[in-house]
Chains A and B, each alone.
Chain A
Amino acid sequence: MLSPVLLGQVLVNGLSLSAIYVLIALGFTLLFGIMRVVNFAHGAFAMLGGYALFYLYGVFKLPYVLAVPLGAAIVAVASLVLEFLVFRWFYQKMLQSMIGLLGLNLAIEFSAVLVWDVYQRSIPPAFPGVIRLGGLILPADRLMVIGIALVVLAAFWLFMRRTRYGLAMRAAAQDVEIAQSQGIDTRFVYRLAFVIAIFMAALAGGLYAQIYSLSPFMGDRPLLVAFVVVILGGMGSIPGAALGGVILGFTESFLSTFYGASVSSFVSFGVVILLLIVRPWGLLGTPESLRP
């Protein structure tokens, strides 16, 4: 049963899921870590990324490697309007942000229903067919997903670690007031973090829509994934998001292949709830300090 071919596919599947999940979770954790907002609308932006890819690649037939990042970039820049109208009122206000962005999520989803329709569409695959590697049969599009995600993640890592603006963002994530008093323009950092987060969400959404299908409500699942991953890895922790994404991706791939999708969901949520009760700061986060 556990033939190398099957294992190989489960592995690649797991990797591609992990890649997508890490992208979504990174954006989510960035918004939480720097601006302390819990972006309940994160899935909606992923969905918009899916529609962007649908048009750029499916309708306008742009080259794939151009369409993916371009679609995500368009969504990210266009969303600055929403940042100005909605998000900026909720920075550093966690509980209010949850409720407000929940509403935004609804608004975006149902606007999508109005603009498009509720029916599921599919984005044509980029690289149909398989690649044979040794004895393994690996789906080519999944490998492409992994490749794209790795490039984006590497770029993100370089940005955060090696550029001044990345440093500014990390500083703001640690302590906004100190960062401000050191001369960091937090308004700019917030907007930058927002654009990067939405870019990654939209990118992941496009890839996700290709693997599964596209509809105005497709973002619900990625939102849940973002939650699970971020809580697993630790809210506000970037390495935590990466770790959590990998864990969840492989777990899901494994469980849903051998036990079905419901079991896999059930297990993931169950584990996360247990974790929230026993160790709410996740695997790599820092504990909440007790208040006297």
Chain B
Amino acid sequence: MIRVPPRVRTSTWLIAACVVALAIAWPLLSTNRYLLTVATLIALNAIGASSLHLIIRTGLVSLAHAAFMGIGAYAAVLTLMRLHWPFPLNLLAGIAAPALVALIIGPILLRLSGKYFVLVTFLFGEIVRLTLTDWQSLTGGANGIFGIPPPMAALADSLSFYYFVLALAVLCVGLVARLLVSEFGRAIDALREAEPLAECSGIPVTRFKVIAFVIGCGLVGLEGGAANLSAALRRSDRLHLRAIAQSGGDERGRGHGASGGSADRHGVHRRPARVAERLRRAAAGPVRDHPTGGDGGHARRDRRPLGAPRPARYGRRPGRGGRGMTAPPPAAALLRIAGLSRQFGGLKAVNDLSFDVAGGEILGIIGPNGAGKTTAVNLISGIIRPSGGTVTFGGENVTGLAPHRLARRGLVRTFQATTVYDKRTVRENALRGAFLRLYPDFLHSLLGTRRARRLRAEAEAQVEQLLDWLGLRDVADSVAGNLPYGYQKSLGIVVALAAEPHLILFDEPVAGLSAAEADHVRDTLARVRARGITAVVIDHNMRFIAGLCDRVVVLHHGQELAQGRPAEVLADARVIEAYLGTGHGAARRRRA
């Protein structure tokens, strides 16, 4: 019986209802002007706090939030006074202007890791403040703009203005709450907790962060715009807004205490994409992949048999379902690595690496420490960009694609270190791996439509099967971090499998495991292969690799040293030399 606790407890609904009722009713009991002003400010702050909370939930602390409020405020007021836009329109301008700015700088800034993001937003806030102060002709400088007329006659009165702001606040807080509870929100949680893991399950990390950032900045612009409809414009007070952020999470009782610390630990700073390259990709059009109708991910027993003819074009056929995967690629040479290189300064970590992986086989990659195995895996799985060479998957050139795009094409990986989301249960971990199956699209996810619910149910069923198959049913409700290490490694494999991949890269799957646990993993991998999934396994452990893999590639100093069946490769004198030193290779040759 699938027991997924409802995301919003009844008690939360009750509290929210009480708060709103109180907020509506209290002016009937008191006509205190001062209290009314304070209550209006509280409602306005609620907008700002919830919008900042949305941004912080992605794991990034934005210190530029007040700057966006200022942009929104000035946009709303200036469109009203200079361009004479009518009332609701100028407020919309107040939302659109900061959202637009966020959309422009977001994709660049949101690639930075946590601490640099904080610094950049801090400085950005200062720049905005300076700009607004110095651009006297536009903004009236430090003195501000006076004589802002009330937007509508109906809102001229403080009480009706309060109710107006209250309505806005309820809408905004409700929107943010709904977002965070939806599939989108769950994906945000995943990428906050372990970004590389999330991305390799198909979550488009940067895009989601940008969406959250843009919405958050737009909403705080609304606060700025609304706040200034009844007073002379003041220069936005950045200190004011930061103090709110702290109480923001508690105020709505929903925040899990945005773990900013873990965001910093897991934040990855990728080399920023060059603008031209990103423009080129954008011009090539968004890739919308849908699973084929018949490929329902329930039981992948009947995979395309080996040796079947390859389709003319690696198809992206539209179909029902979530943002799913593409058709199974041809069997021969599923993954082709050609001339792959990566340089770090003067060090060639990977140098002109070439090998093929046929569909359905298990390829091992071994090599002594520092041979470049981890770099090679990171290059293939899209974590870092190669300096040269190509990666071809299913006939398509996927060199340098981000991990989530590779996941959509059916290429996933497991991790050596952060294998699982350790604060979540086993079941939740697996469900996160099934992101591609269960995520409808933004709108459906936001509205919680029937389609969203259906996809989720399908994914849950699939995950149950998966957990059953790999013997994790008993611990399905345990928190992953509490499990023994061997179980966590198995869970990492489950997370990868949940994405219904065609090929899995296993990064040191038995590192740190006892012999018995390693045997268990080996059996699991054999069963994975029996399901038709291709595997590339990177490890040190010769015995493990020899017992499992069909073919082996040996790396040394970033280059391929030998390739072939395990028995041949491991008897190769050069390989022995690489592992044990020069004397031993010669001894081996003498004995042979």
Contact = CB atoms under 8 A, between A and B. Distances in A.
A244 to B, nearest CB: 14
B417 interface: yes
A280 B111 CA distance: 12
Contact of A269 (B109, B116, B127, B268): B127
Nearest to B384: A290
A265 B130 CA distance: 8
B120 A277 contact: yes
A269 B130 CA distance: 10
B268 A290 contact: yes
Interface stretch (A16-24, A93-101, A193-201, A205-213): A93-101
A38 B507 CA distance: 35
Contacts of B61: 95, 98-99
A102 interface: yes
A280 B130 contact: no
B581 to A, nearest CB: 28
A224 B108 CA distance: 22
Given A273-B124, A280-B112, A292-B196, A95 B260 contact: yes
Contacts of A290: 268-270, 378, 383-384
Interface stretch (B209-217, B219-227, B238-246, B488-496): B238-246
Interface in A236-292: 262, 265-266, 269-270, 272-273, 276-278, 280, 288, 290-292
A224 B119 CA distance: 11
Interface in B110-144: 112-116, 118-120, 122-124, 126-127, 130-131, 134
Given A93-B261, A95-B61, A292-B416, A277 B118 contact: no
B264 interface: yes
Tell me the dominant secondary structure on chain A's binding face. helix
B196 A291 contact: yes
Contacts of A277: 108-109, 112, 120, 272
A99 B113 contact: no
Interface string B250-276: 000000000011011010111010000
Contacts of B377: 292
Given A277-B109, A292-B415, A94 B272 contact: no
> Chain B's interface: helix, strand, loop or mixed, by majority?
helix
B425 interface: no
Given A269-B130, A292-B377, A276 B415 contact: no
B68 to A, nearest CB: 16
Nearest to A220: B126
Contact of B127 (A106, A273, A288): A273
A269 B118 contact: no
B118 A95 contact: yes
Contact of B120 (A38, A93, A98, A276): A276
Interface residues of B, number: 42
A94 B243 contact: no
B374 interface: yes
A99 to B, nearest CB: 7
A278 B112 contact: no
Nearest to A290: B384
Contact of B123 (A98, A102, A272, A291): A272
A262 B126 CA distance: 12
A52 interface: no
Contacts of B239: 106
Contacts of A93: 261
A227 interface: yes
Nearest to A288: B269
A281 B196 CA distance: 22
Contact of A266 (B109, B130, B270): B130
Contact of B260 (A96, A276, A288): A96
Contacts of A266: 127, 130-131, 134
A103 B266 CA distance: 25
A154 to B, nearest CB: 30
A214 interface: no
B261 A292 contact: no
Contacts of A106: 239, 243
A276 B123 contact: yes
A92 B118 CA distance: 16
B119 A227 contact: yes
A288 B123 contact: no
A148 interface: no
Contacts of B119: 38, 227, 231, 276
A224 B377 CA distance: 41
B240 to A, nearest CB: 10
B122 A227 contact: yes
Contacts of A94: 115, 264
B261 A96 contact: yes
A265 B128 CA distance: 11
A266 B127 CA distance: 7
B269 A273 contact: no
A273 B369 CA distance: 38
Contacts of A38: 115, 118-119
A262 B134 CA distance: 7
Interface string A17-38: 0000000000000000000001
Interface of B: 61, 108-109, 112-116, 118-120, 122-124, 126-127, 130-131, 134, 196, 239, 242-243, 246, 260-261, 263-264, 266, 268-270, 272, 374, 377-378, 383-384, 415-417, 507
Interface of A: 38, 93-96, 98-99, 102-103, 106, 224, 227-228, 231, 262, 265-266, 269-270, 272-273, 276-278, 280, 288, 290-292
> A-B pairs with the 5 shortest C-beta distances?
A262-B134, A95-B260, A95-B264, A269-B127, A276-B120
Given A95-B260, A95-B264, 19 more contacts: A93-B261, A94-B264, A95-B261, A98-B115, A99-B246, A102-B242, A103-B243, A106-B239, A227-B119, A231-B123, A266-B130, A269-B123, A273-B123, A276-B119, A276-B123, A277-B112, A291-B266, A292-B416, A292-B507
18 contacts: A38-B119, A94-B264, A95-B61, A95-B115, A95-B261, A224-B126, A228-B123, A262-B134, A266-B127, A269-B130, A273-B127, A276-B112, A276-B116, A276-B123, A277-B120, A290-B269, A291-B196, A291-B266
